[in-house]
């Protein structure tokens, strides 16, 4: 066995009211790709921040054989700077007072070439697709020749094809002797690309396995510490027309949509597959009535109610300093049952919040704590619970399980399926093809603002969908 590149021993880190990491041991070896998995709030991010040196542990030791690099989930790039400027920021090659731009460019190209990454060092980062931006973030770390590279949710925003090429790069790095740790929610990727996996639960590392000798199910059970809630069964329904979109045109520039025709019937889930940035946000905003559009969006029954699960729970769905009760009222405050004369009926709102807490297993000390203090999974449960509580005719779900753990995700998916079984028309927009394949009765693929293909559940062709998502026909 070679010397480990990174050794974490007895790491403990407590924040007021919560022990984030508790007596964690981990060794990373040169050449391995080690996955770190766990539910939201299990302590993965804290542990990687400690390994990186960003956060100080209360107890325990960190020993690394060389530089430790970290690729953030939310890229820390400057959009209006060029690729080479981003990569070499803080380590600019100089000639006298000025930056030696020729040397900078060739250095970036050399690092890119060594790692098999295609990049134009002169491009402005904001003009690049997400997958290429990630390459820039990766290059910035690679330029420092790290012995250990930590990757936080690296594939969260990537298309299937980008994911494959990303892992090819990572495997090349590992083959040249780097120790790599990937923090992720995607268990299929763990099995496919990692060599070992460590599972965290409640701040501890509770299991460590060779990926060759385990399965997605086994990892998931270790994460939740028991059996996973299973997604509700798909009941037979009699779909009837409900939401119909015709000749829709909205938005401008890269994210505009054009010539969209779409039907979502009561009692079915229609999934919109596509890579981020192909007009999904514009489509969702138009249907939710938030932006002007040309064409028609019509509902079969008069006064149809629409429940919206926006994609960004922090910016679009919740007011973080407000309590659970207040957030459950938000957007529904005009409903007669929530009014008492000119004022709000807080007792009713509290009852609603309680119902959501029970149906969705929201883990919070009380209903009066600010939603800011809850984990991402619990916040999302509130968002989904609020969208479904008034039994809407139409449900618009945009990445309803993004960035939440498998347990919470299974619950959210289950509730969406139940809404469908109860006769709601569900439009599911998701960047996770697996989620769409699991839930949708029909699938439409979006590319560059248009719907480029449609599939029935009975004749789904995963490869064909992947090709359409990438713009190949």
Partner 1 sequence: MAVLLISLVALTLIKATPLIYAALGGVISERSGVINIGLEGMMAIGAFAAVVISYYTREPALGILAGIGAGALGGYVLGIAATRFKVDQIVAGTGINLICAGGAAYGLVLIYNQPGASAQVPALGREYWVLVALAFVAAAALHWLLARTPWGLRIRACGENPAALASAGIDPLAMRVYAVTLSGALAGLGGAFLSLGELNLYSDGMTAGRGFIALAAVIFGRWNPLGATFACIAFGLFEALQYVLQGRIAWLPADAMQALPYIAALVALAGITGKVRAPAADGVPY
Return the closest-CA partner of residue 422 out of 359, 335, 342, 330. Answer: 359
* Tokens encoding 452: 């480029």
**Cα 228 from Cα 197, distance rounded (Å):** 19
Least distance from partner 1 to the Cβ atom of residue 53, Å: 11
Return the closest-CA partner of residue 276 out of 458, 63, 133, 174. Answer: 133
Closer residue to partner 1, CB minimum distance, 23 or 92: 92
The CA distances from residue 357 to 26, 191, 328, 363, 366, in Å, are: 36, 34, 11, 8, 10
Closer residue to partner 1, CB minimum distance, 92 or 361: 92
Least distance from partner 1 to the Cβ atom of residue 314, Å: 16
Least distance from partner 1 to the Cβ atom of residue 321, Å: 17
**Cα 273 from Cα 468, distance rounded (Å):** 9
**Cα 148 from Cα 117, distance rounded (Å):** 19
Pair 295, 246: CB distance under 8 Å: yes
**Cα 17 from Cα 408, distance rounded (Å):** 22
Closer residue to partner 1, CB minimum distance, 84 or 167: 84
Least distance from partner 1 to the Cβ atom of residue 150, Å: 12
Least distance from partner 1 to the Cβ atom of residue 141, Å: 9
Closer residue to partner 1, CB minimum distance, 79 or 331: 79
Residues forming contacts to partner 1 in the complex (CB under 8 A) are 70, 72, 76-81, 85-86, 89-92, 94, 97-99, 140
Closer residue to partner 1, CB minimum distance, 87 or 273: 87
**Any residues with CB less than 8 A from the CB of 145 and at least 6 apart, and which?**
66, 67
* Tokens encoding 434: 């697996």
Closer residue to partner 1, CB minimum distance, 55 or 354: 55
Pair 151, 180: CB distance under 8 Å: yes
Least distance from partner 1 to the Cβ atom of residue 92, Å: 4
């Amino acid at each position: 066995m070679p010397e480990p590149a990174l050794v974490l021993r007895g790491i403990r880190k407590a924040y007021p009211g919560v022990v984030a990491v508790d007596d964690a041991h981990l060794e990373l070896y040169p050449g391995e790709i080690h996955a770190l998995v766990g539910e939201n709030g299990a302590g993965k991010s804290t542990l990687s921040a400690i390994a990186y040196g960003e956060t100080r542990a209360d107890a325990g030791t960190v020993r690394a054989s060389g530089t430790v690099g970290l690729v953030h989930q939310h890229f820390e790039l400057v959009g209006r700077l060029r690729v080479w400027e981003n990569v070499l920021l803080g380590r600019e090659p100089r000639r006298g007072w000025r930056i030696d731009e020729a040397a900078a460019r060739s250095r970036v190209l050399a690092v890119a070439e060594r790692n098999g990454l295609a990049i134009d060092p002169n491009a402005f980062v904001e003009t690049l697709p997400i997958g290429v931006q990630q390459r820039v973030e990766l290059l910035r770390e690679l330029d420092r020749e790290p012995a250990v590279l930590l990757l936080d949710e690296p594939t969260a925003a990537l298309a299937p094809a980008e994911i494959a090429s990303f892992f090819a790069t990572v495997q090349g790095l590992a083959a040249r002797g780097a120790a790599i740790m990937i923090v992720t929610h995607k268990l299929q990727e763990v099995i496919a690309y990692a060599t070992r996996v460590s599972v965290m639960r409640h701040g501890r590392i509770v299991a460590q396995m060779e990926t060759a000798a385990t399965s997605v199910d086994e990892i998931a059970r270790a994460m939740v510490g028991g059996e996973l809630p299973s997604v509700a069964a798909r009941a037979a329904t009699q779909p009837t027309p409900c939401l119909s979109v015709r000749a829709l045109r909205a938005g401008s520039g890269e994210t505009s949509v054009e010539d969209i025709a779409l039907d979502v019937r009561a009692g079915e889930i229609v999934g919109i597959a596509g890579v981020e940035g192909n007009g999904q946000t514009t489509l969702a905003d138009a249907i939710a009535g938030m932006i002007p559009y040309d064409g028609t969006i019509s509902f079969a029954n008069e006064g149809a109610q629409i429940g919206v699960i926006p994609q960004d729970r922090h910016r679009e769905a919740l007011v973080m300093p407000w309590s659970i009760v207040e957030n459950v009222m938000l957007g529904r405050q005009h409903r007669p049952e929530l009014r008492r004369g000119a004022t709000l009926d807080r007792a009713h709102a509290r009852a609603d919040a309680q119902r959501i807490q029970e149906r969705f297993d929201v883990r919070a000390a009380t209903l009066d704590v600010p939603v800011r203090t809850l984990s991402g999974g619990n916040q999302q449960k509130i968002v989904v619970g609020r969208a479904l509580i008034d039994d809407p005719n139409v449900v618009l779900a945009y990445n309803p399980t993004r960035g939440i753990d498998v347990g919470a995700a299974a619950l959210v998916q289950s509730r969406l399926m139940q809404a469908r079984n109860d006769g709601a028309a569900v439009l599911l927009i998701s960047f996770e093809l697996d989620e769409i394949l699991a839930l949708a009765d029909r699938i439409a693929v979006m590319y560059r603002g248009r719907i480029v293909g449609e599939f029935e559940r009975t004749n789904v062709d995963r490869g064909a969908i992947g090709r359409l998502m990438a713009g190949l026909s």
